[in-house]
Amino acid sequence: MTVEQASGTLVLPISAASKKKQRGAKGPKLAEARTDRILATAVGLFGAGGYQTTTMDEIAEATELNKATVYRYFSSKEDILYALYQRFLDAAVVQTTAIAEGPGTASEKLRAHLKCSFTMLRDYLPYWHVVIKEDSHLSDRRLAVIRRKRKAYAAAVDRIIQEGIAAGEFRTLDPRIIKLAVEGMCNWGFRWFKPGGPMTAEALAEAFAEIALNGIVASPDARSEGDQGSPVATGSSHS
């Protein structure tokens, strides 16, 4: 598996065509389609109105299933919240670990990691708003599981950065600071990223990787040449 494949193949479908899938579906397929549909509906309601004020009645109504059916798949509202956290973090951990353990230089892996972060923004945007806010509504036992997954994700990012420093490919800056800076560059996208915007997730990831890796200060050479060769160069100002 190449780094590109590792970063591109493992985003799970979350809600697309779940209704269509359900038509004529039976047994495990019906269960999967309904689970997807309940989660896709709930993540939108939790994100818009907050977990606490959303009721199971509202979820059932918006899902167009009766409440008994919803309860067949999730025995409580907290079960739904927990499933959302799991789905989001499992996708992040699987992809990021595959990148960290895969082939390539640390710079290539960091680019792939940023690509993964932006495709996660694109494909899981409603999840970000929930997963950032609602930790306090998970039981201690479940929160411990979520924390382990967050640690596994963080460890994969650490590994990429430490590998780059050990190889002399990255400067010997504090790896925790590098991680916080790079993660922030991407994750703050939950505030501004719009799927279908003028730049694709992949193009944004490439532009951000360029800044993370090489900074924004012009090198003395580039300065004298005007640095016009950049793939994201623009000479014009914007409003």
Contact 8, 122 (CB under 8 A): no
| Nearest residue (CB) to a copy of itself, 26 versus 172 | 172
The answer to whether 66 contacts a copy of itself (rule: CB under 8 A) is no
- The window from 28-36, 89-97, 142-150, 160-168 that contacts a copy of itself (CB under 8 A) reads 160-168
CA distance 44 to 128: 11
Contact 206, 111 (CB under 8 A): yes
| Nearest residue (CB) to a copy of itself, 133 versus 147 | 133
Q: Give the DSSP letter string of 20-36.
A: HHHTT--HHHHHHHHHH
| Nearest residue (CB) to a copy of itself, 58 versus 169 | 169
The answer to whether 154 contacts a copy of itself (rule: CB under 8 A) is no
Distances in whole angstroms, Cα of residue 100 to Cα of each of 23, 93, 189, 237: 40, 10, 22, 38
The answer to whether 128 contacts a copy of itself (rule: CB under 8 A) is no
Nearest alpha carbon to residue 23 among 13, 12, 44, 37:
37
- The window from 8-16, 56-64, 141-149, 200-208 that contacts a copy of itself (CB under 8 A) reads 200-208
What's the closest the beta carbon of residue 16 comes to a copy of itself, in angstroms? 27
Nearest alpha carbon to residue 115 among 44, 204, 46:
204
Site for a copy of itself in 165-194 (CB under 8 A): 168-178, 180-189, 191-192
CA distance 158 to 179: 7
Binding residues (CB under 8 A) for a copy of itself: these are: 50, 52-53, 107, 132-133, 158, 162, 164, 168-178, 180-189, 191-192, 204, 207-208, 210-218, 222-223, 226-228, 230, 232-235, 237-238
